């Protein structure tokens, strides 16, 4: 694998980030309780989700809640925190994996719900778990180019249906150990929503400057993690191995342009204990600087990074160096530096 794509920004800042979480918490013990007959038949040990993945619980939408309404709520809160009126926003990008239909875009629902002007460009970006960071990069490029003044990036995920479908399928008599483990990652998914507002640094000196970052692709691994509402099927060992190779390659090449070994905080995409520990070890991060939300929220897809950043934001100090980093199935990796 050769070659990072590198981007630098000079006048773009993250003005706010907000998240909206479901009220219902689903314990891993409850999920494994539903799967007890299948685990017994396959002679698999219990407590796999907590012991192996480190996921104690995740959130699911309760009755009367939905990922669309929660995403709109997160968007309103992000605009409020940024001190930006919806009428000033020139771009809305939705980055959700979850979608209830093929068309129209999820973005149009968010555009309407946020009361944005007809002049605001709106569309979806889909790139698995990297969608939110990719959306931030594209929005930053348009702000830097002078095409827009403000942008809002939103994401809402609903793991409820895939969770139910996976549990039902894993209880079938024709499911073997290999089948079970290929769907194990589906059981770590959680629901949630997040939003972020970007604007010009010279107009918002109180903001958090986006300095830039890198992306890198290893699309020869595009079949290692394939998901739909029916289920997410992975080759976990090959996926982890390919992802680590990709991250290390991107990290090493980025060292010629960036000094990321002494960041104050590393906000990583939240997958599992195994994934997080492997990334920390592979590139030599200080684990104390890598906050985790997967134990109680699971893997919330593209919303993981902004949710974790929002929950961590109260502990961040002015001028802290923050690196957003993650791997998305496909495979792609992205790293973006913020000056808090």
Instruction: Output the pLDDT for position 86.
Output: 98
Tens digits of per-residue pLDDT, 153-171?
999 999 999 999 999 999 9
79 pLDDT tier (thresholds 50, 70, 90): very high
Cα radius of gyration rounded to whole Å, the chain: 19
- 15: pLDDT strictly greater than 90: yes
- Any catalytic annotation for residue 225? no
Q: Considering 32, 65, 77, 129, which one is annotated as catalytic? A: 129
- 129: pLDDT strictly greater than 90: yes
pLDDT, mean over the chain? 96
- Any catalytic annotation for residue 157? no
Instruction: Output the pLDDT for position 257.
Output: 92
* Mean pLDDT computed over 274-288: 95
Instruction: Output the pLDDT for position 228.
Output: 85
- b (16+ CB within 10 A) / e for 164-185: ebbbebbeeeebeeeebbbbbb
First to last CA, the chain: 32
64: left (phi over 0), alpha (psi -120 to 50) or beta: left
Closest C-alpha to 243, from 142, 171, 322, 325: 325
Q: What is the pTM of this model?
A: 0.96
Tens digits of per-residue pLDDT, 26-47?
999 999 999 999 999 999 988 9
Tens digits of per-residue pLDDT, 324-335?
999 999 999 999
Instruction: Output the pLDDT for position 230.
Output: 83
Instruction: Output the pLDDT for position 289.
Output: 97
DSSP state for residue 49 in the 8-state scheme: I
* Mean pLDDT computed over 253-258: 94
- 2: pLDDT strictly greater than 70: no
Residue 139, judged by CB atoms within 10 A of its CB (0-12, 13-18, 19+), counts as buried
Identify whether the C-beta of residue 152 lies closer than 8 Å to the C-beta of residue 197. Answer: yes
Q: Is the dihedral of CA 196, 328, 307, 323 positive or negative?
A: negative
* Mean pLDDT computed over 86-94: 98
Instruction: Output the pLDDT for position 231.
Output: 83
């Amino acid at each position: 694998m050769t070659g990072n794509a590198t981007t630098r920004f000079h006048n773009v800042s993250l003005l706010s980030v907000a998240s909206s979480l479901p009220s219902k918490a689903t314990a891993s013990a409850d999920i494994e309780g539903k799967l007890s007959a299948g685990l017994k038949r396959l002679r698999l040990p219990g407590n796999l989700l907590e012991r192996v993945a480190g996921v104690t619980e995740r959130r699911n939408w309760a009755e009367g809640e939905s990922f669309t309404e929660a995403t709109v709520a997160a968007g309103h809160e992000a605009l409020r925190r940024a001190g930006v009126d919806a009428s000033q926003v020139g771009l809305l990008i939705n980055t959700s994996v979850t979608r209830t239909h093929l068309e129209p875009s999820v973005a149009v629902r968010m555009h309407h719900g946020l009361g944005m002007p007809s002049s605001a460009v709106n569309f979806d970006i889909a790139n698995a778990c990297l969608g939110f960071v990719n959306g931030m990069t594209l929005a930053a490029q348009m702000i830097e180019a002078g095409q827009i003044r403000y942008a809002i990036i939103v994401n809402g995920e609903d793991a409820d249906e895939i969770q139910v479908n996976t549990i039902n399928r894993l209880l079938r008599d024709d499911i073997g150990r290999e089948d079970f483990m290929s769907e194990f990652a589906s059981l770590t998914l959680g629901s949630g929503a997040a939003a972020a507002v970007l604007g010009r640094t010279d107009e918002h000196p109180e903001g958090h400057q986006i300095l830039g970052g890198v992306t890198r692709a290893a699309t020869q691994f595009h079949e290692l993690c394939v998901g739909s509402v029916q289920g997410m099927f992975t080759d976990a060992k090959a996926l982890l191995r390919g992802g680590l190779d990709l991250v290390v390659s991107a990290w090493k090449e980025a060292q010629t342009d960036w000094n990321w070994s002494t960041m104050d905080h590393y906000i990583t995409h939240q997958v599992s204990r195994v994934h997080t520990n492997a990334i920390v070890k592979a590139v030599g991060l200080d684990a104390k600087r890598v906050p985790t939300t997967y134990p109680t929220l699971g893997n919330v897809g593209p919303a993981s990074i902004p949710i974790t950043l929002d929950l961590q934001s109260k502990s961040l100090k002015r001028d802290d160096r923050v690196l957003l980093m993650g791997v998305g199935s496909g495979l792609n990796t992205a790293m973006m530096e913020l000056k808090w």
